[in-house]
């Protein structure tokens, strides 16, 4: 496994691999790797000759009151996880390497962003689109792997590669969970002991909603009311949002049909957790 910090060096290394016919799988992350990331790396390892992992906490996708400075970082741990997963290259650039100058061109994501996390994080997905466009151009992977825990991000990324004809196959990977159902997240470390005991209620409320749909409920508002009741009863967290939308379009619907997403965000004292279920009727 090789750690690369310069764009030019990574490009040169991958150019040689590509010249020899190797396929390249890419897993872009912000580091502090957990089992969710491991599942992405495992999938990439199974499907490609070369696996590239990027570790870069992208400053331009954080808002002014968000946790860029305190976002957990542990490159030694990341290196171990990557090595165990069979990663070939870790791209670990400095901010100055990725953004050496003030940008002359900007990207604005206009669809699939005015709901869920995007509704309260203006500019967030613009930052995601910029860094991924740069990373896709640097790595030029055949496939790129993203977790469905952030299903809105996956929907936006699909739009990005379609709109700009980026020649990469986006591979969504199911959410990895703890034994009690809580979605794996770098931010779970910020939960208090009591909050950690309450947090699995997020997934349980989604499962309950899925059961209601399977039993014939088709009114989104009834489903969402049930979720809010479950979360209020079972946690001390604040419900940031609970939404039921078409997927991947992320549009409001009056009757449940086709592929939908039920998505939640719950704020605890030190962490905001998201989760979702994608269901096809």
pLDDT in tens, 106-120: 999 999 999 999 998
Binding-site members are 30-37, 61, 147-150, 153, 176, 184-187
d(CA 6, CA 93): 6
Q: Is 95 inside any structural domain? A: yes
Pairing status of strand 50-55 against strand 24-29: parallel
Pairing status of strand 143-147 against strand 169-173: parallel
d(CA 251, CA 185): 26
Higher pLDDT pick, 15 / 68: 15
pLDDT of residue 182: 96
- Provide the sign of the torsion angle of the four alpha carbons 220, 273, 145, 115, taken in this order: positive
Do 143 and 231 sit in the same domain of this protein? Answer: no
Binding-site members for beta-alanine are 61
Q: Look up the domain containing 25 and give its range.
A: 2-173
Question: Residue 36: how many CB atoms within 10 A of its CB?
Answer: 21
d(CA 19, CA 241): 48
pLDDT of residue 69: 83
Final residue in a domain of this structure, among 173, 194, 229: 173
pLDDT of residue 64: 82
Binding-site members for ATP are 30-37, 147-150, 176, 184-187
Which band of pLDDT confidence, cut at 50, 70 and 90, is reported for residue 151? very high
Q: Distances in Å between the alpha carbon of 126 and those of 60, 107, 137, 206?
A: 8, 6, 17, 29
Do 198 and 259 sit in the same domain of this protein? Answer: yes
Task: Locate 251 and state its tokens.
Answer: 């549009």
- Provide the sign of the torsion angle of the four alpha carbons 217, 219, 222, 224, taken in this order: positive
Do 166 and 54 sit in the same domain of this protein? Answer: yes
Q: pLDDT by residue (tens digit) across 55-69?
A: 999 999 998 878 788
* Phi and psi torsions of 278, nearest 5°: -110, 125
Q: Is 33 inside any structural domain? A: yes
For position 204, which CATH number holds? 3.30.1300.10
Q: Which long-range contacts (CB under 8 A, 24 or more apart) does 60-69 make?
A: 60/99, 60/126, 60/127, 60/130, 60/131, 61/123, 61/124, 61/125, 61/126, 61/127, 61/128, 61/131, 62/124, 62/127, 63/121, 63/122, 63/123, 63/124, 66/121
Q: Is 40 inside any structural domain? A: yes
Do 11 and 94 sit in the same domain of this protein? Answer: yes
Count: domains in the chain: 2
3-class DSSP state of 276:
strand
Catalytic residue flag (residue 37): yes
Do 203 and 149 sit in the same domain of this protein? Answer: no
pLDDT of residue 68: 87
Q: Is 179 inside any structural domain? A: no
d(CA 2, CA 5): 10
Of the candidates 37, 124, 208, 257, the residue annotated as catalytic is 37
pTM comes to 0.92
């Amino acid at each position: 496994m090789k750690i690369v910090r310069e764009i030019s060096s990574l490009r040169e290394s991958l150019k040689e691999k590509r010249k020899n016919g190797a396929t390249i799988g890419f897993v872009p992350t912000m580091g502090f790797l957990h089992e969710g990331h491991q599942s992405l790396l495992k999938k990439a390892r199974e499907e490609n000759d070369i696996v590239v992992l990027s570790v870069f906490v992208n400053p331009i996708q954080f808002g002014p009151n968000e946790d860029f400075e305190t976002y957990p970082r542990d490159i030694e741990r990341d290196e171990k996880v990557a090595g165990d997963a069979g990663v070939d290259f870790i791209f670990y650039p400095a901010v100055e390497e990725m953004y050496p100058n003030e940008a002359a061109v900007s990207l604005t994501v206009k669809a699939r962003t005015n709901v869920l996390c995007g509704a309260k994080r203006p500019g967030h997905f613009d930052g995601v689109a910029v860094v991924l466009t740069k990373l896709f151009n640097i790595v030029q992977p055949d496939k790129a792997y993203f977790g469905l825990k952030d299903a809105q991000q996956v929907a936006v990324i699909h739009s990005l590669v379609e709109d700009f004809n980026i020649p990469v196959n986006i591979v969504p990977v199911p959410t990895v969970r703890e034994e009690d159902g809580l979605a794996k997240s770098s931010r779970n470390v910020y939960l208090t002991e009591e909050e950690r005991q309450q947090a699995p209620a997020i997934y349980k409320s989604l499962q309950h909603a899925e059961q209601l749909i399977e039993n014939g409920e088709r009114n989104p508002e009834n489903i969402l009311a049930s979720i809010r009741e479950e979360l209020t009863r079972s946690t001390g967290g604040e419900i940031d949002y609970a939404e039921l939308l078409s997927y991947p379009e992320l549009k409001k619907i009056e009757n449940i049909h086709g592929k939908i997403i039920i998505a939640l965000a719950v704020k605890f004292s030190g962490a905001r957790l998201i989760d979702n279920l994608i269901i096809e009727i």
